[in-house]
Chain A
């Protein structure tokens, strides 16, 4: 019998190892469910997600798979000049003069994308608007103006955020713009008005923190490619611990005004393990005042001269 029990143990170990192999983080379409990792528990027995986390991907440039390109803002295809009939190379995708000085710093790195299936199911009018948004990125992206980033974009901006688990509220503190969300784990009334960061109600599904986010305004975007939503947006987020050092973040997006069906993004988030790492200030309102208001006063502070 002893040998029989050991046989079961060995088989179980092989199955577990195989399961871990299967569930190694690989691609954006990997399922977050069925993970074998069990998160440590807080003093009141909840999965412990406390810590500073950060995405490490190109989702904020473009949720979908994309090749590298020279800049976020490109000139429209320039006319071919020169001597008629002469075969010459033509320029493609030159940076807009407004961002040209950034050189290689201003380029867009390629990325595999984080959308499950890679398709964002826009309604036809909405796809056209997304493409316009992308072309007019420099004027339209709310990130440029230091506006609150919305959900899920706050998660994968290139800044860390901190999960702070209180006893009946969980705070998500984002570095960018000092944006904050309070996830109500207790019963809470409805949001009295639309918001930038949504109204978040959370619950635990096993080790997974599930957050239903509603009551958005229509002013935030999903990325720098112009992906957008309406005030009918509903986001269902799932934060699933996968190891002491990473978790899987999944967000399902529903918006019947803009999309033809719900769709999902998925990505790993990594723990910032530096000793005494803390969230620092990125109070960017101060950084964008000249851009937004410099030309509106009697005096432009950048030049000290009177505005025309």
Chain B
């Protein structure tokens, strides 16, 4: 999913984190008087660096079954835990002290990396919603039975292999991408997204894997050329930026850290970006793909705008993919040990 070979990147991100902590979430200062700024050519202005940094799990945990929202008490309790964990992280502590006892406890993947690799620098934000998935109502992703098996297999392989060739690591470990579906809310390291607008285009630069989307907003139709990131076409509905993405290439044959992000020819994404304040955005994505899901599902994701001086740094993953050669060397050593 992510690279542990990117030492320089991590040092950079640690520096970013420190700078972020200096200017805490400005969203509390958002008032009702806020009006959506416009670009010089009159489009709603979404520019800046955005990231998801809330403590909301993608799917609803069993303990909240039947409930879409936390109580005020639960929110307060969570807030306290997040603040404590952040203090522990900044103190250099690891493990259960920072809420990372095991993989399953985390709402996001990336738990296997210690705090050094994480972008945190301020406590994760607590929201009332019990899951990012808001449709279906149970807050769970409606995988097909086959996809459920594929996801279980992906989870079992993650970090464990086997690694017999370069096709065995997942697409992230191969420095290809973790897919466009989770781009706006994934990436404990490199989860920053810079939005740059120019007349007729909205460009999103995602730090991890150098993922990039140049989205035309000029009324054109999607091209028929299939791509990893499909063909995105944008339009404005009032102050909401709406993006429809189709014509994905089929890469369901590859290993994915999470199969919910894998592209197939039947994948269709509908995204809605709506700024709700100077530093907050309501991001919604509806994912349709009969190859993986029994019905469409929608996630509602609160994302935060980072201070103006936040930068996207160069994520030279493939150029520094020592992990690949090391994984394969490990695979050979393992095969030799087993006498195969």
Contacts and interface: CB of A to CB of B under 8 A. Distances in A.
Q: Interface majority SS on B: helix, strand, loop or mixed?
A: loop
A167 B309 contact: no
Contacts of A192: 11-12, 15, 313
Contacts of B196: 164, 166, 169, 171, 182
B164 A286 contact: no
Contacts of B167: 301
B100 interface: no
B165 interface: yes
A49 B80 CA distance: 50
B158 interface: no
A188 B165 contact: no
Contacts of B41: 42-43
A66 to B, nearest CB: 28
B316 A276 contact: no
B220 A276 contact: yes
A196 B176 contact: no
Contacts of B212: 173, 178, 180
B92 interface: no
A297 B332 contact: yes
Contacts of A50: 198-200
A119 to B, nearest CB: 31
A193 B166 contact: no
Contacts of A296: 166, 324-325, 328-329, 332
B205 A293 contact: no
Given A166-B198, A180-B212, A43 B40 contact: yes
A285 B316 CA distance: 12
Contacts of A42: 40-41, 199
Contact of B223 (A166, A169, A278, A292): A278
A293 B319 contact: no
Contact of B331 (A279, A285, A298): A298
Indicate the member of B175, B196, B200 with the most A CB atoms within 10 Å. Answer: B196
Interface residues of A, number: 47
Nearest to B163: A297
A182 B220 contact: no
Given A196-B316, A276-B223, A293 B325 contact: yes
Contacts of A195: 314, 316
A298 B164 contact: yes
B210 interface: yes
Interface in B168-185: 168, 174-177
A294 B201 contact: no
B276 interface: no
B210 A164 contact: no
Contact of A283 (B15, B228, B331, B340): B228
Nearest to A169: B196
Nearest to A282: B227
A54 interface: no
A162 interface: yes
Interface in B191-215: 194, 196-201, 203, 205, 210-212, 214
Nearest to A179: B210
Contacts of B316: 148, 195-196
Given A180-B210, A276-B223, A285-B175, A193 B11 contact: yes
A279 B214 contact: yes
A289 interface: yes
Chain A contact residues, majority secondary structure: loop
B8 A196 contact: no
A289 B205 contact: no
B79 interface: no
B39 interface: yes
Contacts of B324: 293, 296
B124 interface: no
B81 to A, nearest CB: 32
Contacts of A300: 165
Contacts of B25: none
Given A182-B194, A281-B229, A297-B163, A147 B319 contact: yes
B6 to A, nearest CB: 11
Which of B47, B203, B313, B319 counts the most chain A CB atoms within 10 A? Answer: B319
A182 B312 contact: yes
Interface in B1-47: 8, 11-12, 15, 39-42, 45, 47
A148 B214 contact: no
A47 to B, nearest CB: 13
A46 to B, nearest CB: 9
Interface in A108-154: 146-148
Interface of B: 8, 11-12, 15, 39-42, 45, 47, 163-168, 174-177, 194, 196-201, 203, 205, 210-212, 214, 216, 220, 223, 225, 227-229, 309, 311-314, 316, 318-319, 324-325, 328-329, 331-332, 335, 340
- Those 4 A-B pairs whose CB atoms lie nearest each other, nearest first: A297-B165, A43-B40, A166-B196, A293-B166
16 contacts: A43-B39, A50-B198, A50-B200, A164-B198, A167-B197, A178-B210, A182-B194, A182-B205, A188-B309, A188-B311, A193-B11, A219-B319, A294-B165, A296-B166, A297-B332, A307-B332
